[in-house]
């Protein structure tokens, strides 16, 4: 076995395997995979609207607003759907009530997308531009939910109360904390969370838009696939 094979099998593969099995990364992967059908559906309507056929664009022009509706409902809300899916999956992996984890994640994500002046949601932040924010919000909210549960900082009702009602009250304390914390951060302190997250990930996005970045990414994907690690 040459030195490259030794390096791959003794050092790189075990570490990459452990990384791929990380709870948080696995939840991100599962959540993002779950929204792929939505992108396919939205993409179909985009293809119909812009088929490369002479005269097709002019023919479809009166119908573009109608065809744009499913695109907005899928691509335009991609961040929200990803936040729900990642929150649900991570809540399940951390032994929390998954549906409540998803609800908390979506609530906080929608909260920070509100515009203070008009009290309306900024649609731009709900789509792909808010995707990184959605991922971070889902991870943070579920992690805080688990911290409250582990510390027993929750409202527990008697065993005679139905489980669905009891679980709702258990989630009340972390939900209140999350809403108040992000409300203060976003509106009282005036922190633009979307802009901050985009700035944080800008170097990574820029790198993947360059030839060296694409080549490195393609090499890593091929390398990991060749040793049985994918997804």
Q: Tell me: the pLDDT tens digits for 89-110?
A: 999 999 999 999 999 999 999 9
Q: What is the pLDDT of residue 221?
A: 67
Q: Using CA atoms, how far apart are residues 106 and 141, in angstroms rounded to an integer?
A: 9
Phi-psi region of 154 (alpha: psi -120 to 50; beta: other; left: phi over 0): beta
Mean pLDDT of 21-45: 92
Q: What is the pLDDT of residue 8?
A: 62
Q: What DSSP designation does 96 have?
A: S
Q: What is the pLDDT of residue 40?
A: 95
Contacts of 219 by beta carbon, 8 Å cutoff, 6+ apart: none
Contacts of 55 by beta carbon, 8 Å cutoff, 6+ apart: none
Helix (H) or strand (E) holding 120: strand 120-121
Burial level of 41, CB count in 10 A (0-12/13-18/19+)? middle
Q: What is the pLDDT of residues 109-144, one digit of tens each?
A: 999 999 988 889 999 999 989 999 999 999 999 999
Is the alpha carbon torsion for 7, 10, 13, 18 positive or negative?
A: negative
Q: What is the pLDDT of residues 156-208, one digit of tens each?
A: 988 888 988 898 899 999 999 999 999 999 999 999 999 999 888 888 777 77
- Match 């664009």 to its residue by tokens: 57
pLDDT band for position 16 (cuts 50, 70, 90) = low
Find out whether 27 and 89 touch, Cβ atoms under 8 Å. yes
Q: What is the pLDDT of residue 85?
A: 97
Find out whether 19 and 25 touch, Cβ atoms under 8 Å. yes
Q: Using CA atoms, how far apart are residues 59 and 80, in angstroms rounded to an integer?
A: 33
> Dihedral through CA 132, CA 184, CA 93, CA 37, nearest 10?
-40
Tell me the three state secondary structure of residue 57.
helix
Q: Using CA atoms, how far apart are residues 111 and 121, in angstroms rounded to an integer?
A: 8
- Please provide the size of the chain in residues: 231
pLDDT band for position 84 (cuts 50, 70, 90) = very high
Q: Using CA atoms, how far apart are residues 74 and 19, in angstroms rounded to an integer?
A: 30
Indicate if the pLDDT at residue 12 is higher than 60. Answer: yes
The mean pLDDT of the chain is: 88
Contacts of 92 by beta carbon, 8 Å cutoff, 6+ apart: 98, 101
Q: What is the pLDDT of residue 229?
A: 52
Q: What is the pLDDT of residue 200?
A: 86
């Amino acid at each position: 076995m040459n030195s490259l094979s030794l390096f791959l099998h003794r050092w790189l593969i075990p570490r990459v395997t452990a990384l791929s099995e990380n709870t948080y990364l696995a939840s991100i992967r599962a959540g993002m995979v779950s929204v792929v059908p939505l992108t396919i559906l939205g993409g179909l309507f985009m293809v119909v609207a812009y088929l490369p056929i002479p005269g097709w664009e002019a023919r479809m022009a009166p119908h573009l607003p109608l065809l744009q509706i499913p695109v907005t409902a899928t691509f335009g809300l991609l961040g929200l759907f990803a936040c729900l899916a990642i929150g649900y999956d991570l809540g399940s992996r951390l032994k929390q009530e998954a549906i409540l984890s998803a609800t908390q994640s979506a609530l906080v994500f929608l909260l920070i997308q509100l515009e203070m002046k008009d009290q309306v949601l900024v649609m731009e932040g709900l789509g792909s531009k808010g995707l990184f924010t959605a991922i971070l919000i889902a991870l943070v909210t579920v992690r805080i939910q688990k911290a409250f549960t582990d510390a027993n900082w929750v409202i527990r009702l008697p065993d005679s109360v139905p489980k669905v009602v009891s679980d709702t009250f258990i989630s009340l304390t972390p939900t209140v904390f999350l809403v108040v914390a992000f409300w203060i951060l976003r509106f009282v302190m005036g922190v633009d969370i979307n802009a901050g997250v985009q700035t944080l990930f800008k170097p990574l996005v820029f790198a993947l838009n360059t030839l060296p970045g694409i080549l490195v990414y393609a090499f890593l994907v091929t390398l990991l696939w060749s040793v049985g690690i994918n997804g």
